[in-house]
Amino acid sequence: MKDDSTLYVGLDVHKDSITVAYAIGMSEVELLGKVGTTEAEVDRLCKRLQSKAGRVSVVYEAGPCGYGLHRNLVAKGLDCMMCAPSLIPRKPGERVKTDRRDAIKLVRSLRAGDLSAVHVPTVEDEAFRDLARAWSAAREDLKQARQRLKSFLLSHGVHYLGRANWGPAHRRWLSTFSFDSTWQQLAFNEHRRTIEDRLAQCERLEVALREAVVDWRFFPAVLALQTMRGIQFTSAVGLVSELGDLSRFEHPRQLMAWIGVTPSEHSSGAKRRQGSITKTGNSYARKLLVESAWSYRHPARVSIDIQRRHEGIPKAIIDRAWDAQLRLCRRYRKLVARGKSAHVAVIAVARELVGFIWDIGRLGMTLAVARSA
Please indicate, yes or no, whether residues 239 and 178 belong to a single structural domain of this protein: no
Q: What is the rounded average pLDDT for all residues in the chain?
A: 93
Angle between helix axes 182-212 and 123-155 (nearest 10 degrees) is 160
Residue 184 lies in a domain: yes
> pLDDT class for 3, splitting at 50, 70, 90?
low
Contacts of residue 261, defined as CB under 8 A and 6 or more positions apart, other chains included, come to 277, 278, 286, 289, 347, 350, 351, 354
> Which of 105-114, 161-170, 227-236 is least confident?
161-170
Q: 21 by DSSP, 3-state: which? A: strand
Q: What pLDDT is recorded for position 231?
A: 96
Q: 358 pLDDT exceeds 60?
A: yes
Task: Write out the residue range of the structural domain in which residue 176 sits.
Answer: 123-213
Q: What pLDDT is recorded for position 102?
A: 95
Please indicate, yes or no, whether residues 241 and 362 belong to a single structural domain of this protein: yes
> pLDDT class for 1, splitting at 50, 70, 90?
very low
Q: What pLDDT is recorded for position 265?
A: 83
Residue 41 lies in a domain: yes
Please indicate, yes or no, whether residues 324 and 209 belong to a single structural domain of this protein: no
Q: How far apart are CA 110 and CA 347, in angstroms?
A: 35
Burial of 339 (0-12, 13-18, 19+ CB in 10 A): exposed
pTM: 0.90
More reliable by pLDDT, 268 or 75: 75
Residue 1 lies in a domain: no
More reliable by pLDDT, 369 or 240: 240
Neighbours of 270 (CB within 10 A): 5
Q: How far apart are CA 252 and CA 188, in angstroms?
A: 49
Region 301-305 average pLDDT: 94
Q: 269 pLDDT exceeds 90?
A: no
Q: What pLDDT is recorded for position 153?
A: 95
Q: 122 pLDDT exceeds 90?
A: yes
Q: 264 pLDDT exceeds 50?
A: yes
Please indicate, yes or no, whether residues 202 and 281 belong to a single structural domain of this protein: no
> pLDDT class for 100, splitting at 50, 70, 90?
very high
Q: What pLDDT is recorded for position 372?
A: 67
Region 59-80 average pLDDT: 94
Please indicate, yes or no, whether residues 247 and 313 belong to a single structural domain of this protein: yes
Please indicate, yes or no, whether residues 86 and 198 belong to a single structural domain of this protein: no
Q: How far apart are CA 255 and CA 7, in angstroms?
A: 32
